[in-house]
Amino acid sequence: MKYITKTVWILSLVSLFTDAASEMLYPVLPIYLKSIGFSMMLIGILEGVAEATAGLSKGYFGKMSDISGKRVPFVQLGYALSALSKPLMALFTWPLWVFLARTTDRFGKGIRTGARDALLSEEATPQTKGKVFGFHRSMDTVGAVIGPALALLYLFFFPEDYKTLFFIAVIPGLLAVFTSFSLGKRKSLPGKEKAIKTPFFSFLKYWKQSPRNYQKLVVGLLIFALFNSSDVFLLLKAKESGLSDSMVIGLYIFYNLVYAIFAFPMGILADKLGLKSIFIFGLFIFSMVYFGMAMTSNLGVFIGLFFLYGLYAASTEGISKAWISNIIPKNEVATAIGTYSAFQSICAMLASALTGFVWMYFGADVAFYSTALVSFLVIIYMIFVPKPMVEPVS
């Protein structure tokens, strides 16, 4: 564990608290939205717009972090915004207000992500990127276990009292903010031009200048993102198959528990076998899960599928960022990850809106089958993407 530094621990704890707050709300969010009059199409659009807001701001603020040479201020501001946005959705039920509250939360994520991931990359060597990013994802996902578990416990005693959960979620959010202050001051990266004016879409210019291998990798990731809609639809499929609110939340907790347990070991394995190999394995699992979701309404099968879905997440989420950070110069990592995240979130917006449309007019099975098929095609593409320039030594 010598490669898990103090900074990695602090960032991991901050993510744990933040995810506890966010994930306390996530599994009940679609149920709450439907209870205040949102249609499936509107839920899809909301999730898409929220993720697009996060992604576009990731591109801009990632670039700003690299230009300024600073990381910590972006991390602290981003987590603070997300914490303060939690109670907003419960104050009023106007669609425009709900959109504002949800996008504020995601805007905070956009501000912090590139800088945080760059900090993690700076704390690792090319041979330990999988471990460091895997450990962070594991700790982050522990929060995603704690949050829904608290929500499940609360709803057991106070059924359908969703609004109060939004206020309770402020507590772990504030813990995240306070913990982030432990990062302290760090030296700015050398060779930065402080006075450059940075347009919001400046990351588009970076795409044209980026390494060819980065572009090949990101193209494959974006094709996948274009059909990988919000997890909300997996939860709604379980709900519409006859499962109770408690069972749906329980499945989500189980998925996150699997994710948390396996993220760090999969990172270790990726450092030994190669980031590319583990990532492709994760895509294969994803494809199988979506084929399975289209064919079942059985609780036992759902449990197995959500186990596999956790394994997929553990094999891809941190690994993809570790892969990117290993093919990009150190002083461009925040921009590179931010640029990828910006394009990814545009694709996520389209994916969620498209899935909502297909679900409404053609049914859930068609939505899941099409996603499974495209993800399998992405596997074929990724086989031909070059490995990271620095591959680990077994």
Tokens of 70: 């600073």
Q: How far apart are the first and last CA of the chain?
A: 17
What is the 3-class SS of 73-103, one letter each residue? HHHHHHHHHHHHHCCHHHHCCCHHHHHHHHH
* Calpha distance 129→318 (Å, rounded): 9
- What is the reported pLDDT for 335? 85
* Calpha distance 63→152 (Å, rounded): 39
Give the H/E segment covering residue 290. Answer: helix 275-295
Cβ atoms < 10 Å from Cβ of 194: 9
- What is the reported pLDDT for 393? 37
- What is the reported pLDDT for 198? 66
- What is the reported pLDDT for 186? 62
CB 183 within 8 A of CB 6: no
Separation in Å, CA 109 to CA 35, 79, 197, 336: 26, 7, 22, 16
Q: At 198, which amino acid appears?
A: T
Going by C-alpha positions, the residue among 353, 355, 327 that lies closest to residue 340 is 327
Going by C-alpha positions, the residue among 132, 121, 123 that lies closest to residue 327 is 121
- What is the reported pLDDT for 337? 85
CB 254 within 8 A of CB 234: no
Q: For each of the domains in the chain, give its residue range(s) and CATH number, in order of start.
A: 6-182+203-383 (1.20.1250.20)
Going by C-alpha positions, the residue among 349, 141, 357 that lies closest to residue 229 is 349
| 339, HSE (Cβ side, Cα atoms, 13 Å) | 26
Helix axes 212-225 and 333-362, enclosed angle (nearest 10): 20
pLDDT by residue for the chain (394 residues), tens only, comes to 667 888 899 999 999 999 898 888 876 777 777 777 777 677 777 777 777 777 778 878 888 888 888 888 899 899 988 888 887 777 777 777 788 888 888 888 888 888 888 888 888 887 788 888 889 888 988 888 898 888 888 888 888 787 888 888 889 989 998 999 888 766 555 545 454 566 666 667 888 888 888 999 999 999 999 888 778 788 888 888 888 777 887 888 888 889 888 988 998 888 888 889 999 999 999 999 999 988 877 778 888 999 999 999 999 988 888 888 888 887 788 888 888 888 887 887 788 778 888 888 888 888 889 989 999 999 999 998 887 655 443 3
